Structure 1
C-alpha cells in the first residue's frame, strides 16, 4: 500500500465514507440496515455480515467486500466497481439493502486506487480483465448464480460496468449512474477541452491513487494542449460506444441515469448511445450535476435513482415481473415540472421551432431572437474577455441547483454587451416546454484559424433575472482565417419557460469551465444567417 499524507480532499472523502459506514459493523459483525429504507425493508431477507476480502485481479490484488442472503441457495449477483477516488466501502449501505432483496453483492476497489494494487488503468484493458476476475471469484466463492450477474456503479464504476458488459457476456444487467459512453466527448466536446472536470480528476488521482506514467502523461498533455490525437486514441479505447457492436450482440439490459447539468460527463453522449443501443434499455435524466441525483442513496436513504435501480435488477436479473419491461423506456424530470415518460427519446419534442438571430438594436444592444430572417447585420465580440454569463463551477453550481430547485441565474442587464451578443425573444402568452437538445447555427466572419465561442440559453423574466436552461462551448481548429460556420448542439435539457418570459441567447468567448483557443486581443463577428433551433413539446 502506498503511504499518503492526509489532505483536505482525502479528509472529505474519508468523512463521506464514514457517513456511509454509520450503522455498519466491522468485518464479521452483524450490520444494521440503514434508515429510512421502508420499501427495501419490507422485502428484506436475512443476510450474512459484510466480509472484507482480497480478490486476485489480473496480476494485482483488489480490495473488496461482499454481503449476501444467509439462506442456502444460488442468488443473482451485482458487482459494484468503486467510483473515481473512492473505494469498496462506497456501496456498503446499498449492498446491505440489495442483499436484503435477495442479491449477492460484491464491491471492489479498482486497480491503482487506495489499497488495490497496480496503477490506475482508467477503464482500460487491465480494468476489463480485473472485472472478469472479480466475476470468476464471485462464482467460485459466493452463492452467485453464474447465469444471473449484473454490474452497477456511479461515475467511474458505471463506466466500468458498461464497458465490462462488452467484454464479458456473463454480465446480463447493467446500471450506469452518472457514467460515460464517449470519453473523447467528455474531454473534448465540440473540440473544446473541459478544464475544471479534468483538473478535478487529476487531483483525485494524485492524492488517492497511483496514476502511473500513462495517466499522468495523458492528463499533463491535456492540460498543456499537446498530443491530442494520442489522448483521443487512448480515450476511445475506454468508451462503450467503441464497442457498441459487441454490446448489441451480448444484449445486456442497460439502465442509464444522469443529470441534465453533469459537468464531467455531459448527457448528449448518453442520449446518442441510448438511441443506438438495441438491447433492453432505460434512460433517466434529472436535474443535477455529476452524481448528485443518486447521492442520498449512497447513504442508504430513500432515493428515486436507486429505487429505479432496484426495479431494473428485480425485473432483468432476479426475474421478478414488476412491470418495468412494459413501461415507457425514457423518464425525464424537467427542471421545473413533474416527471414525464416517453416511449423513446425523439418523442420528447413534438415540434422544432427556429429562432432567427436578428440585428442588434441601438437602444438596448440586444437583438431579436425570432422573427423574419434579416440580412446585413453583424455583431463583433472580443475573443479574450469574459462576461458574467457562464456555466458555473464543476459539481457545485448545478449540484446546488438540484438540491435547492433554483437554477443558476444572472441579471441580464449586467451582461456586458461589448463582450457578448445577446438576443431575446418576444414574450409569448403560453409556456414553452423545451425538451431535448437546442441546436445553434452561427455564421462567423473575421475569425482566426483557431477560436472558441460559448452559447448560453436563458429564461428571462420581466425584471431581468435570467435562469440558465442549458449551454455549450464550440471550438474550431483550422489552418486559415476567414469565414466559417459553427453548428453546436447545446446540452440536452427539459425546461418549461413560463408564459410571459423571454427565451434569451447569450454568446461570448470565455468560460472558466473550459479551455479556449482564442487569441489575445482578437475578435469574432456573428453575422446574419445565424439561428437557434429549439425542440418544443
Structure 2
C-alpha cells in the first residue's frame, strides 16, 4: 500500500509541477499557491491546496473543490490554476475526509462530508479575500456528489459544477435491483488502498459480502441529492452537469432524471466516455470542452459576465459513436423528436437464420412463447468498467457482438428491418417483455445493438433488471428503460434486441439449470420503442 501511495504521489507531484510552472495568461497577474491544513467537522485535519490570484482588486469569487474518491487535493491542480490566474477565482481544493492524509474515516458523502465542505467555505471566508456572496463548488465523481449535497444544505453556494457525479446513489449501484459488481468492487478496493474506511462503509462492506445490500440502501437516501431537490430548488443554485454516456459507476439516466426536476439555472452536457474520462484531462489543465464550459458557467453565475450562457440552449449532447458534433436542445425531453416502435415476434429458425431469431415488427404479435436457459452467459455483454467506455471515447471502438454467435439456448434475440436512411437514436429506449421465471430471483440483461449486414453489432445501450421474489412459473411483465444515449446508426444497419441472464459487470441472480420463458400476452404485448432525432446539419 505504501508503494502504491508513493507512486500516486509522484504522478500527482509531477502534474503539479507542470501546472504551476505554466506561464501566466495575463501580464501583471499570477498566483500564490499554499498548502494549508483546515479544521474540518469534529476537529479533523483537512489538507488543502489554496490558490490565490494576484493582480486582481477587491474580493474574489470563491471556488471550493472536494477531491474525488481515492484522490487528493492535487486532483484539480491544473484546472484550479487556470481558474485562478485566468479568471481571478480564489480556489481551495481539498482532500475529502478519510482519504490519503485527511483525517476521519471515509463516510461515502455523508453528513460529515457536507459539514467538512461548509467548514472549508468558512475557513476561506475568514482567511482569504473571498467574496461571501459569490461562492461556487465543483468536483469530479465523489467531489461532484459532495458539491451538490453541500449546495442543498448551504444557500451560500450559488453555483455548482457536477462532473461524473450521482444524484441517486441506490440507482447507481443497484439499478433495477441488480448489484453493479465491478463498480462496487472497484470503489471498495480503492477506498482501502488510499484511505481509511469509516464504520458505516465497513459495515456496508461486511453485509455486502454476505449478499445483503440493505444497509447500503438504507444509507443511500441521505447521500443522494435527488432526495434534496426541494432544497436545491429553493436555494436557486445554478447547476451544470457533465456526464459520459458509458459511465459504468454512475450511469447517466439518474442524472437526466435529476436534471429534469431542477428549477433553477441549469446546464447538461453528455458525451462519449466512461466514468470521469470526458473531463479528466481538463482537471490537470489540458484543453477540455467540459471544463471550458464550466469556466463560462461560473463566470456568468459568480462574476456576472454577459457571456451568452443564459441565452443558449442548456442541453448539449454529442453522439457516443463517430465524430459527430454537439447538438443543443432547450430541455432534455426535446432530445427525442420521434420514435421507432416495434413489436416482438416469435423467435424461429429460418433459411436466413440458423438460430432462432424473432423480429422487431410493425404490428405487435401475441400468443407466442420462447424458453431460454438461465445462469449461463452468451457473447452479449455490457463490456468492462472504464475500459469499454474509454475505447468508445478515444478510439471509437464499441462493445461488440457477433449476433449469429449469441447462443439462443440462453438468450432471446430479435432483429429489425434495415434502416435505409440510417437514424439517430436519441434518448432512452424502452422495452416491454413478459417473462416467466423458474426461480424467485432472476436477473435479465437487455442489450440494444446496431447491427451491420454481416451480423456484427455495436452496443448502443443496455440495462440490467432483476426480478425479486417473483412467483416461479407465473408470468411477470417487465418494463425496462435503457440508459439514455445518442447514437448514429448508419444507413443499411438494423437494430437488434438481445435479452439474456448473465453479465460479468453485475452480480447475477438465478442459477444454471433454471430457465426463463419470454411471452407476448394480448393484454401486454412485448415491444421495443426507440427514441430518435435528426442529426444536426453537417454532423458526421
1:22-63 CA-partner distances (Å, limit 9, x unpaired):
425xxxxxx3228xxxxxx65686233210000011121100
Kept in 2, the 8 Å contact 1:282–1:330? The answer is: yes
SS in 2 for 1:454: strand
For 2:475, which of 460, 483, 498 is the aligned residue?
483
Query: Following the alignment from structure 1 to structure 2, what is the Cα–Cα distance between the partners of residues 50 and 440?
Result: 53
How far the C-alpha of 1:465 sits from its partner, in A, is 1.4
Pairs within 5 Å for 1:325-474: 325-335=310-320, 336=322, 337-363=324-350, 364=353, 365-474=356-465
The verdict on how the C-alpha distance between 1:381 and 1:73 changes in structure 2, with shifts beyond 3 A counting, is same
The verdict on how the C-alpha distance between 1:483 and 1:15 changes in structure 2, with shifts beyond 3 A counting, is farther
Pairs within 5 Å for 1:174-185: 174-185=160-171
Kept in 2, the 8 Å contact 1:172–1:253? The answer is: yes
1:128-155 CA-partner distances (Å, limit 9, x unpaired):
1111100000001111101000000000
Pairs within 5 Å for 1:95-114: 95-100=80-85, 101-114=87-100
Match of 2:527?
Answer: 531
Query: Following the alignment from structure 1 to structure 2, what is the Cα–Cα distance between the partners of residues 44 and 139?
Result: 27
SS in 2 for 1:50: strand
Kept in 2, the 8 Å contact 1:447–1:484? The answer is: no
SS in 1 for 2:144: helix
For 1:69, which of 50, 53, 64 is the aligned residue?
53
SS in 2 for 1:397: helix
For 2:262, which of 277, 285, 291 is the aligned residue?
277
For 2:233, which of 239, 243, 248 is the aligned residue?
248
Kept in 2, the 8 Å contact 1:57–1:133? The answer is: yes
Kept in 1, the 8 Å contact 2:375–2:513? The answer is: yes
How far the C-alpha of 1:214 sits from its partner, in A, is 1.4
For 1:133, which of 114, 119, 122 is the aligned residue?
119
Kept in 2, the 8 Å contact 1:33–1:96? The answer is: no
How far the C-alpha of 1:360 sits from its partner, in A, is 1.1
Match of 2:146?
Answer: 160
Pairs within 5 Å for 1:249-328: 249-328=234-313
SS in 1 for 2:475: strand
Query: Following the alignment from structure 2 to structure 1, what is the Cα–Cα distance between the partners of residues 301 and 11?
Result: 31
Query: Following the alignment from structure 1 to structure 2, what is the Cα–Cα distance between the partners of residues 208 and 91?
Result: 17
Query: Following the alignment from structure 1 to structure 2, what is the Cα–Cα distance between the partners of residues 125 and 360?
Result: 52
Query: Following the alignment from structure 1 to structure 2, what is the Cα–Cα distance between the partners of residues 423 and 223?
Result: 37
1:350-403 CA-partner distances (Å, limit 9, x unpaired):
123221111112122211112322223222122110011111111111112111
Match of 2:509?
Answer: 517
Query: Following the alignment from structure 1 to structure 2, what is the Cα–Cα distance between the partners of residues 271 and 44?
Result: 42
For 1:21, which of 16, 20, 28 is the aligned residue?
16
Query: Following the alignment from structure 1 to structure 2, what is the Cα–Cα distance between the partners of residues 319 and 139?
Result: 20
SS in 2 for 1:353: strand
- TM-score, normalised by the number of residues in structure 2: 0.93
1:314-368 CA-partner distances (Å, limit 9, x unpaired):
1111111100011001000012322100000110111232211111121222111
Query: Following the alignment from structure 2 to structure 1, what is the Cα–Cα distance between the partners of residues 407 and 28?
Result: 61
SS in 1 for 2:328: strand
Query: Following the alignment from structure 2 to structure 1, what is the Cα–Cα distance between the partners of residues 126 and 463?
Result: 48
The number of equivalent residue pairs is 519
Kept in 2, the 8 Å contact 1:267–1:492? The answer is: yes
Match of 2:183?
Answer: 197
Kept in 1, the 8 Å contact 2:62–2:130? The answer is: yes
Which runs of no fewer than 5 residues in structure 1 stay unpaired? Answer: 25-30, 35-40
Match of 1:38?
Answer: none
Match of 2:538?
Answer: none
Kept in 2, the 8 Å contact 1:432–1:498? The answer is: yes
Kept in 2, the 8 Å contact 1:297–1:303? The answer is: yes
How far the C-alpha of 1:16 sits from its partner, in A, is 4.4
The verdict on how the C-alpha distance between 1:423 and 1:44 changes in structure 2, with shifts beyond 3 A counting, is farther
Match of 1:6?
Answer: 3
The verdict on how the C-alpha distance between 1:377 and 1:12 changes in structure 2, with shifts beyond 3 A counting, is farther
For 2:221, which of 226, 236, 240 is the aligned residue?
236
Kept in 2, the 8 Å contact 1:253–1:280? The answer is: yes
Match of 1:27?
Answer: none
Query: Following the alignment from structure 1 to structure 2, what is the Cα–Cα distance between the partners of residues 194 and 512?
Result: 10
Query: Following the alignment from structure 1 to structure 2, what is the Cα–Cα distance between the partners of residues 414 and 50?
Result: 58
Query: Following the alignment from structure 2 to structure 1, what is the Cα–Cα distance between the partners of residues 8 and 379?
Result: 32
Kept in 1, the 8 Å contact 2:207–2:215? The answer is: no
Query: Following the alignment from structure 1 to structure 2, what is the Cα–Cα distance between the partners of residues 495 and 210?
Result: 41
SS in 1 for 2:133: strand
1:468-527 CA-partner distances (Å, limit 9, x unpaired):
100010011125221101111111000111111010111110001101111331000111
How far the C-alpha of 1:120 sits from its partner, in A, is 0.7
1:222-258 CA-partner distances (Å, limit 9, x unpaired):
34321x3332120111000111111110011000010
Match of 1:57?
Answer: 40
Match of 2:492?
Answer: 500
Query: Following the alignment from structure 2 to structure 1, what is the Cα–Cα distance between the partners of residues 367 and 26?
Result: 68
The verdict on how the C-alpha distance between 1:12 and 1:454 changes in structure 2, with shifts beyond 3 A counting, is farther
